[in-house]
Amino acid sequence: MTVRRSGNHAGGLAYEERGAGEPVVLIHGGVCADWFATLMDEPALAGAYRLIRYHRAGYGDSDRVDGPVTVAHMADHCAVLLRCLGIERAHLVGHSSGAAIALQLAIDRPDLVRSLALLETALLTVPSGPFAAEAMLAYRDGDPAAAIDRWMRGVCGAGYRDLFDTALPGALAHAVPDADTFFGQELPAVRKWSFGPAEARAVTCPVLLVVGELSRDVSPTFDERHALLRALLPHAESFELPGANHLMHVQNPAGLAARLATFLAAGSAPW
């Protein structure tokens, strides 16, 4: 599919929406603003929910933010979007750093969050390996394309580019102008973010934790983070998505959408 860029803006954020029903907000991870584009047409979701995906501040067609940011700031951006769209409560689906943002919003504004689906949450307290330092070095040397390539290989495996180019043509090209946001603002913010027992006790909504079956082939970090979150959130459901790693929305969008739909239906209440 070709990435569609929407002209819709609210609260300084570009967004796209599809379908009708309870609102489901898709919060993308780092590097690429269009991670969730593949889910927008999945019948299991688009046929039953009001799907909203947006470009986080500093990504894609959304406004830039000057200076340092925190995960709490990024969560507040999502809260502003919900208010602008007239949404009182929403299901949140977050990927990687987007999952950290979803968790933070559930802590700061539990009144806004109906449920959380967390796809391989970025917990940088669990070491991520040498690729992170190598990517940052390339960025500081003035080569954002090389920095993104090193990061994506370390997180998604060597074949990531072919998968992206097939499923989301143009998405990686869009990522290069956003490198300042990812390496200059987002990574420092996520590194400073902490999620421990005290924060976990504040999360009272239904939670689904998703890890890719193939992520362990890329790095043991994903299983370690998944296990840590299961320990911190014992009430959460856990799911291993077959045939997928951190690129799960590209590798198995139908399987991901089906599991999300089952979880969302169980966590929904009559309006």
What are the φ/ψ torsions at residue 231 (nearest 5 degrees)?
-70, -40
pLDDT tens digits, the chain, 271 residues: what are they? 334 445 688 889 999 999 999 999 999 999 999 999 999 999 999 989 999 999 999 999 999 988 899 999 999 999 999 999 999 999 999 999 999 999 999 999 999 999 999 999 999 776 667 888 899 999 999 999 999 999 999 999 999 999 999 999 988 988 999 999 999 999 999 999 999 999 999 999 999 999 999 999 999 999 999 999 999 999 999 999 999 999 999 999 999 999 999 999 997 644 3
User: End-to-end alpha-carbon separation of the chain, Å?
Assistant: 34
142 CB-side CA count, 13 A? 0
> Could you tell me which residues are beta bridge partners of residue 90?
113
pLDDT tens for residues 229-240? 999 999 999 999
**Every domain of the chain and the residues it spans:** 8-267
Q: Which residues 6+ apart lie within 8 Å of 192 measured at CB? A: 70, 71
Where does the chain have alpha helices with state H?
Answer: 43-46, 71-84, 97-108, 131-140, 144-156, 160-167, 171-175, 179, 187-192, 197-201, 215-218, 221-232, 248-251, 253-267
Calpha distance 159→144 (Å, rounded): 19
Cβ atoms within 10 Å of 229's Cβ, excluding its own:
22
Question: So what's the architecture of 8-267 in CATH?
Answer: 3-Layer(aba) Sandwich (3.40)
